[in-house]
Amino acid sequence: MMNQMLYTALTANGGSFADNALEAMNVTVVGMVTIFAVLALLWGIIELLHRVLNAGRDLASDARAGGGASAAQTAQASAAPAAPAAPAGEDGALIAAITAAVAAAMAEEGCTGGFRVVAFRRVSGRGNGRH
C-alpha cells in the first residue's frame, strides 16, 4: 500500500516517474543546501558577536599579563589576607598547601577578589589519602 501511495505521488503531475523523482531530488538538494547555508551564516554571526563582545576582556587580560611578575605578586598579595589561618593538627600543612595553590591559580587567572574557606570536613569511610 505504501508503495502504491509513493508511486501515485511521484506520477501525479502527469509526468513520468523518472521526471518526478528527479524533481524531488532537486528539491531535496536545494533544501539541504539552503539549510546548511543558513546554519553557516548563523555560526558566522555568533562568532562575530563573540569576538566583538569579548574584545575588551582580551585587552584587559593582555594588560594584566604584560605586567609580568609584579601583577602576579600584587594579585597574590591581595588574595593572601583572605586565606584563613591553618587549623592546628596534622592536616594543617596540607590545608595550607591547597589554599596557597588555589590562591596562586586565581592570581594567574586575574581574579583579584579573595575567597573564604568556611569549613573542612573529612569524608567518612575514606582514609587520609595515603595508602
Per-residue pLDDT of the chain (131 residues; tens, 9 = 90+): 667 766 777 677 777 778 888 888 999 999 999 999 999 999 999 999 999 988 877 666 665 655 544 555 555 555 555 545 545 556 777 878 888 888 888 888 877 777 676 777 777 765 555 54
Helix axes 69-79, 92-109, angle to 10 degrees: 130
What pTM was computed for the model? 0.37
CA-based nearest residue to 97, from 88, 108, 86, 89: 86
What pLDDT is attached to residue 43?
97
What pLDDT is attached to residue 35?
97
List the domain boundaries for the chain.
2-52, 68-109
**Long-range contacts, stretch 104-112, CB < 8 angstroms, 24+ apart:** 104/76, 106/75, 106/79, 107/72, 107/75, 107/76, 107/79, 108/72, 110/60, 110/61, 110/64, 110/75, 111/75, 111/79, 112/75, 112/78, 112/79
Q: Burial of 75 by CB count in 10 Å (0-12 exposed, 13-18 middle, 19+ buried)? A: buried
What pLDDT is attached to residue 55?
81
Supply 26's cell numbers: 532537486
What pLDDT is attached to residue 65?
59
What pLDDT is attached to residue 86?
46
